[in-house]
Amino acid sequence: MSIAAHCRELADQIAAADPPPMTIMEVCGTHSHAIGRYGIRQLLPESIRLISGPGCPVCVTADSDLDAIVQIAQQGAIIATFGDMVRVIGPRGSLADARAAGVEVRVMYSPMQSLDLAREYPDREVVLIGVGFETTTPAIAVTVSDAASTGLRNFSVYACHKLVPPALEVLIADPDCRIDALLCPGHVSTIIGANAYEFIPRDHGIPCAIAGFTPLDILLGVNSLVNQIVSGEPRVDNCYPRAVQAEGNPKARAQVESVFAVADVDWRGLGMLPDSGLALRAEYSHLDARTRFDLAPPIEIDRGPCICGEVLQGKALPTDCPAFGSACTPQSPIGPCMVSSEGSCAAAYRYGG
C-alpha cells in the first residue's frame, strides 16, 4: 500500500469512528506547519478542530528577554543566535535593527560555533542566545560545559530555555482553552520521553499522542486521540516509537541537569510560570550574560492589533487577528508567530487559514 493510500485509509477510519466535536492542540511548531502543508485539516471530519499551542520557542520568548538581548547587543557584544531570533521585534527593536546600526550579529547552525567566535575574537564579548525547548538545550549545555572547561573568559550565555510539561499543565487548567486532546511534540519527546506526559491523562483525563512529522505520522496520532476520546480511555500513546522511548534520552537529560537548574521563567502569552524553564547553575554563573551586562529594566511595547499571546494559548486562530495577512505578513511581521519558521501565523499565511 502506498503512503497516500495509507493516509486515506486512516482518514476513513477516523471518520468512521464518528468523533464528537473535539479540539486537539498540537504543541510543536513543526506539526503546525506539517498540518498546513499536507492539508491534514481537509482530510478530517468537521467535528475535529486542530489548534496550535506554545510550540514555537522563538514565539514564546517574552518581550522582557527580547529587550535584554538587544540591550546586550547595543553594548558591543557579538551576538551568536539561531536565525529566527534575528527578526523578532522587541521593545527596543530587533537584532536585525541592531545589526543595521552596526552591531555584529552572527547566525549559527550549531551552538559550538559561538565558542569558535569567542576564540577568533578574544578581545570581544561573545554572547550565545540560548533559546529553545528540551530539544535544543542539551547542545547548549555541552557548549557551556566546554566553555567552562577550556576557560573561555569572553563567552557567556543568555538562557531563555523553556520546559514543555509545565506549560501544558497551565493550559489544561485554563477553562478558556478547552483542550480535549494533545498531539505531543516529537522532537521534545525524544529527550524527555513518553513518560513525561503521564500526568496529563492521569490527573486531567486528557488523551495524549506523540507523533512524528509526516502526514502518516500525524494521522496516526489523530486516530489514536479520536479512539481514546470515543472509548473514554485516555492515556499516553507513543505513535512515534522509531524516535521516542518511554524514558527519553537519559544521557541528554543528565547533561542538561549538570549545567542548568529549573527556574521560573517568563513566557509570551502565559506570563511568569514557576519551574517552567532553565537557568545556569551557580558553578556556571560566571558564564551568565544576565549578570555580566548592565541591563536596564524592560520597557513595554504596543503591538497594536497583534494577538500572538492568545494564539500561543490556543484561544485564538491566526486568522482571528485583524493584522493577519495585511499589516502583519512574513515579509513585514509585527508579532513573532509570523516571524518564526515554526510560528502558527506563518503556517496559516503560507498554507491557508
User: Per residue, what are the HEC states of 169-210?
Assistant: HHHHHCCCCCCCEEEECHHHHHHHCHHHHCHHHHHHCCCEEE
* 306 occurs within a structural domain: no
- 269, 56, 49, 321: CA torsion to nearest 10: 50
Q: Which helix (H) or strand (E) segment is 8 a member of?
A: helix 3-16
Q: What band does 109 get if pLDDT is binned at 50, 70 and 90?
A: very high
Q: What band does 324 get if pLDDT is binned at 50, 70 and 90?
A: very high
- 96, 101, 102, 105: CA torsion to nearest 10: -10
pLDDT in tens, 239-265: 999 999 999 999 999 999 999 999 999
> Cell numbers 514543555 label which residue?
164
Percentage of the chain beyond pLDDT 70 is 100
Q: What band does 82 get if pLDDT is binned at 50, 70 and 90?
A: very high
Residue 74 sits in the same domain as residue 20: no
- Is the pLDDT at 208 greater than 90? The verdict is yes
Residue closest to 337 by CA, chosen among 285, 274, 281, 269: 269
- Is the pLDDT at 33 greater than 70? The verdict is yes
The answer to whether 50 touches 24, Cβ cutoff 8 Å, is yes
Kindly tell me the sign of the dihedral angle through the C-alpha atoms of 39, 318, 97, 125.
negative
Residue 69 sits in the same domain as residue 147: yes
* 334 occurs within a structural domain: no
Q: What is the pLDDT of residue 301?
A: 82
Q: What is the pLDDT of residue 341?
A: 86
Residue 40 sits in the same domain as residue 90: no
- Is the pLDDT at 94 greater than 60? The verdict is yes
User: In angstroms, rounded to a whole number, what is the distance separating the alpha carbons of residues 185 and 164?
Assistant: 9
Residue 78 sits in the same domain as residue 226: no
- Is the pLDDT at 306 greater than 90? The verdict is yes
Residue 214 sits in the same domain as residue 254: no
Mean pLDDT of 320-334: 94
Q: What band does 202 get if pLDDT is binned at 50, 70 and 90?
A: very high
Residue 39 sits in the same domain as residue 125: no
Pairing state of beta strands 78-81 and 126-132? Answer: parallel
Residue 78 sits in the same domain as residue 159: yes
Q: What is the CA radius of gyration of the chain?
A: 21
Residue 45 sits in the same domain as residue 124: no
Q: What is the pLDDT of residue 243?
A: 98
pLDDT in tens, 260-290: 999 999 999 999 999 999 999 999 999 999 9
User: In angstroms, rounded to a whole number, what is the distance separating the alpha carbons of residues 290 and 301?
Assistant: 21
The b/e string for 309-340 (b: 16+ C-beta within 10 A; e otherwise) is bebbbbbebbeebebbbeebebeebbbbbbbb
Kindly tell me the sign of the dihedral angle through the C-alpha atoms of 67, 70, 76, 80.
positive
* Boundaries of domain holding 47: 3-57+167-238
- Is the pLDDT at 352 greater than 90? The verdict is no
Instruction: State which amino acid sits at residue 44.
Output: L
- Is the pLDDT at 353 greater than 80? The verdict is no
* 300 occurs within a structural domain: no
Looking at the chain, how many residues does it have? 353
- Is the pLDDT at 337 greater than 60? The verdict is yes
- As beta bridge partners, residue 105 has 79
Q: Provide the domain count of the chain.
A: 2
Q: What band does 300 get if pLDDT is binned at 50, 70 and 90?
A: confident
CATH number at residue 74: 3.40.50.11740
Residue 149 sits in the same domain as residue 271: yes
The answer to whether 174 touches 313, Cβ cutoff 8 Å, is yes
The answer to whether 193 touches 159, Cβ cutoff 8 Å, is no
Residue 9 sits in the same domain as residue 88: no
Domain boundary residue among 238, 267, 283? 238
pLDDT in tens, 150-189: 999 999 999 999 999 999 999 999 998 889 999 999 999 9
Contacts of 219 (CB under 8 A, 6+ apart): 7, 10, 11, 14, 40, 43
Q: What is the pLDDT of residue 156?
A: 98
Residue 143 sits in the same domain as residue 72: yes
Q: How confident is the prediction for the chain on average, in pLDDT? A: 96
